[in-house]
Structure 1
Amino acid sequence: MPRLRRRASTAAPCACVGRTLSVPDTTALRTAVRLRRLASARLPTPHGLFQMAVFAAGDDKEHVALWMGELESGMPLVRIHSECLTGDAFMSLRCDCGPQLQSALAQIAAEGRGAVLYLRQEGRGIGLANKIRAYALQDEGADTVEANHQLGLPADARDFGIAVAMLEALKVRRLRLMTNNPRKLDELRRAGFEVVERVPIQIVANPFNAAYLETKARKMGHLLDPDA
């Protein structure tokens, strides 16, 4: 497990983690994540009082960790959540992102311990404008994977090396991961974390996202219960 590397200066601590992605139809990258903690404060939410920290990771984006309780010991719940403006902020029914985020925060609050890592990797890493272009192609009949391919983009372009570095910065070693995505499990385990349990975070489908969820299960390997 790579250790946090700290620069000898008065700047915030820096974590450097090398990652190689080998999942089919993802962007194959080797990254060195230089993580800097930029700011911290308390954040009251409808679910309870969280601590919030903003991190820079050398990708011109500001990533966020929300957590409550003691993370270093035990097996805290952890959700790695990729930014989804349409779902998280505008409550779009085309995806399950917004309800998943709120469910994760509620489950963490109920246990009194856990973290949400909010990665600024909109549209599974392709960016907001490309995601909206993909939506337009889906309106014409393409599924979420086909739409990305028609744009010349991978189905999933995210780099979870940022999440690895954030977990190290929060001193998390053992965790229960809230996810339906086996790739996230694989990435954390390859990085040396002990993922003791996968906690499903499935949302009831609606007429606007049922085909999207079916595609994620069939083409991207997401662990979804078709009867849920």
Structure 2
Amino acid sequence: MPTSTSATIDEEFNLKVFDNNVGEVAIVSPINGAGNQVANPLLEWQDLPSASSYLVEVSTSSDFSMIAESATVVNKTSFQTTLLNPSQIYYWRITPSNGCATGSIASIAAFQTAQDVCNVYDNEYFENGDNVWETDVNAVSARVDVPEDIEITNLSFYMRADHNDTGHIKMQLSSPSGRFSEVYNRECAAGRDFDLIVSDQGTAAFACNPGYTGALTGNLRAWTGFF
């Protein structure tokens, strides 16, 4: 049997050459001093060609003795936080590195997350100033004004309506931008009247047993969810 002490093998591979001087990352967002941020903002920074990974650190103290969240991100320039709290000042920094060296820690940036508030709006009014069924669109529309510039992350509303067959009714909740949620879509064909709260934290879905003829009550979930 013939033998050989050497062989030639052809393989394709990618070679990435790193500089020993990795450099410093430039932070993009949130910028230093940013306020009113969502509780878990997306952290973004500029790409550093000499880096292959980034150590992201978020702290409640400027000396980073209290780390709230950290992660090593590979070949990406963003990190989605998930463990932060509202109404809190955070400090964050980026340390780039590659297979050869670790770069300088980026200048520390601070941001403040917005305070979570629970607002009740009872300034509802009907389109055209009445609660008359509009035959041209086959609907009646109630509106609520939200004057504050806030991000809504949780929503519920109370509804009481009289109708002798809930199988006739379809309800939608819409925003000024046009985004809407299907709240109720004729799930209970023989029910009568509505007296309920609708929320994503509802304890039950819209449903009723065959032949049920009572009112729809309770704390129910929207058919497609609000968020």
What is the TM-score when the length of structure 1 is the normalising length?
0.23
Q: RCO higher in 1 or 2 (8 Å CA, sep ≥ 6)?
A: 1
| Bigger helix fraction | 1
| Bigger strand fraction | 2
Q: Which has the larger radius of gyration?
A: 2
What is the TM-score when the length of structure 2 is the normalising length?
0.23
